[in-house]
Each structure stands twice: as structure tokens, then as C-alpha cells.
Amino acid sequence: MSDHDAEITQRRAELATAMKRHAPEYGVFQTAISPLHFIRSDAPTETIHSTHKPGLCIIAQGRKEVRLWDESYIYDPLNYLVVAVTLPLAGHVIEASPDQPYLCIRLDIDPAQIAQLIADTSPIGVPEREPHRGLYLDRIDTSLLDAMLRLVRLLDTPSDIPALAPLALREIFYRLLKGQQGQRLHEIAIADSQTHRVTKAIEWLNHHYAKPLHIDELASHVSVSTSTLHHRFKSITAMSPLQYQKQLRLQEARRLMISEGLDVTTAAFRVGYESLSQFSREYGRMFGAPPSKDIAKIRATA
């Protein structure tokens, strides 16, 4: 093992020890630092569908697979995951045990903080490149791990959090921008760029997914041409706007049936479907079973 690998292993071990104290059992744990969450699982999990806000995920132990549309991303303690825009994802833990639980840090990313950091540290007028996926993997290094450790250690000295957490967060975001894939965060955060405008379309869809989608109106709303919206939207999300909207609708309908006890028809109409047969067909393709059978199985195993 090289000295660099040994340093990373040592830092990961310290992270894992701290996380076990703050995440003593299966679940997602909010910390005293509002954007910082710990996730633990003592066994591999079934696939979970969710809408993932912008965030950084660093694994201290275990492995996880995340799917974006038809693309697969597997990350582990050597590779961190960045979700740069809000995306509907499906993920499951693929490596975990009681002795070596899956331990993951999720740090919410505030795009406004990224934009401010770019303004403070970058030259004005960075040329815009072709858009990339709004989700990517990058190799972790000691600089990023050190910054994350400084943030996590603050949980043991709560009085220091107000003064020092913003500094640690700023360094973490800086390290992400300096990473090999940091341009992806950069291009999404630059105000008035075409890619940034498309992220506004993504956010609009997340707030209005139940409404009928008119591409021309959405393009006009974010001040890009219809062709640019289609091209850049698919480059960033791996989906067309219509496919993206469909994922949001189906995920929300499933949540409504599980969490609020809505019946299939009410849930379908609540999220914007006008045809129950179309809803059931598309739901089955996404979740592997018709809605009634899927929800019954979930309730039986709860």
C-alpha cells in the first residue's frame, strides 16, 4: 500500500468511527450541521426510488449502486458521488454487513454557495463547454477527506459549529470545484449560462410536475430555444423533459399511496395523470409491478 493509500485508509477509518457514534443503527440521521447527514445500513437494501437534491455523497464503508434512467453508477470509499441538479434516482446498497455496515455521508449542496465561491475564486467569463450529466463520480483524495473530517469533528464541539462549519463547508465545495470533474458543478452554477437556465427548467418541473407540460412554454420561461432545452436537458439528466416529469409523477404517486394511504385512482389524478390505464402501465414499467400489487407488497413487509 502506498503512503497516499494509507493516508486515505486512515482518514476513512476515522470517519467511520465518528459516523458509528452519530448513526448507531439503520437509518438516515440529521446532524447538528444542517446540510450534513449520515446514512447507515447493516445489510444490502432493496432498490429505493427518490428525488435527490444537489449533494455530495462520500462512503466510509460499503458500496452502493445508483441508477439515473438507464445508466448505472457504483460508488465506494474510493469514489465520491456528486448530484449537481435535482434528479429522480433509484439506488440500493450492494455491500454491507453488521460487522462492516454501509456508512455514507450526504452533504447537501447549496447552488448559491457554489456560485458565490466561483465568483470569489474564478476569473470572469469562463467559456461554457458542452453540458455534462448532472451526476458524476470522482476519485477521492486526502484534501477532500481532510476537509470533511474537519466538518464532522465539529459535531463533538457544538459551540464551534456556528463559527467554523461555514469555513469547512466552503473548503469542501472548493475541493469539489478543483476536482477532475469540477467543471460540471461550475457550468451549472454560472448565472445566465444556457446550462444554468436549463437547471431552472428542472426546478420548475419539480414544483409543477402535476401540470400539463408544454415544451415551448417551458423553454420560453427559462429563456432558451426549444431545441436547446431538449438537447441540454437530456445531456444533464439523461432524459427528455417529458420522461423526467413522468419519473417525478410516478415517484410522488407511490409516496402518496404508501405514506398517505391514497388509493390508486386518487394518487394517479393527484400527480397529473388523466388516464388510469396509462398510469398503471407506466407505474408497472418503473416499479416492476402494478400499483396495487406493489403497494400491497410494501405494506406486507413494513
Residues 56 and 134 in one domain: yes
Q: Name the band, by pLDDT with cuts 50, 70 and 90, for residue 208.
A: very high
Q: Name the band, by pLDDT with cuts 50, 70 and 90, for residue 126.
A: very low
List the domain range (segments joined by +) for residue 237. 191-243
User: Could you write out the three-class secondary structure of the chain?
Assistant: CCHHHHHHHHHHHHHHHHHHHHCCCCEEEECCCCCEEEEEECCCCCCEEEEECCEEEEEEECEEEEEECCEEEEEECCEEEEECCCEEEEEEEEECCCCCCEEEEEEECCHHHHHHHHHHHCCCCCCCCCCCCCEEEEECCHHHHHHHHHHHHHHHCHHHHHHHHHHHHHHHHHHHHHCCCHHHHHHHHCCCCHHHHHHHHHHHHHHHCCCCCCHHHHHHHCCCCHHHHHHHHHHHHCCCHHHHHHHHHHHHHHHHHHHCCCCHHHHHHHCCCCCHHHHHHHHHHHHCCCHHHHHHHHHHHC
Give the mean pLDDT of the chain: 92
Residues 209 and 180 in one domain: no
pLDDT tens column, 233-283: 999 999 999 999 999 999 999 999 999 999 999 999 999 999 999 999 999
More confident residue, 31 or 129: 31
Mean pLDDT of 199-212: 96
CATH code for the domain of 198: 1.10.10
Residues 109 and 13 in one domain: yes
Residues 128 and 59 in one domain: yes
Q: How far are the Cα atoms of 39, 234, 237 from residue 229, in angstroms, in the given order?
A: 35, 8, 12
Number of domains observed in the structure of the chain:
3
pLDDT at 119 over 90: no
Residues 68 and 166 in one domain: yes
Residue at which a domain ends, from 164, 187, 210: 187
Q: What is the pLDDT of residue 112?
A: 85
- Residues 250 and 255: their CA atoms lie apart, in Å, by 9
Residues 175 and 277 in one domain: no
Residues 38 and 93 in one domain: yes
Q: What is the pLDDT of residue 13?
A: 94
Taking alpha carbons only, the member of 281, 251, 282 closest to residue 267 is 251
Mean pLDDT of 18-47: 96
Taking the model in full, what pTM does it have?
A: 0.91
pLDDT at 123 over 60: no
CATH code for the domain of 283: 1.10.10.60
Residues 75 and 105 in one domain: yes
Mean pLDDT of 196-225: 95
pLDDT tens column, 105-118: 999 998 888 988 98
- Residues 169 and 203: their CA atoms lie apart, in Å, by 24
Q: What is the pLDDT of residue 17?
A: 96
Residues 26 and 12 in one domain: yes
pLDDT at 186 over 60: yes
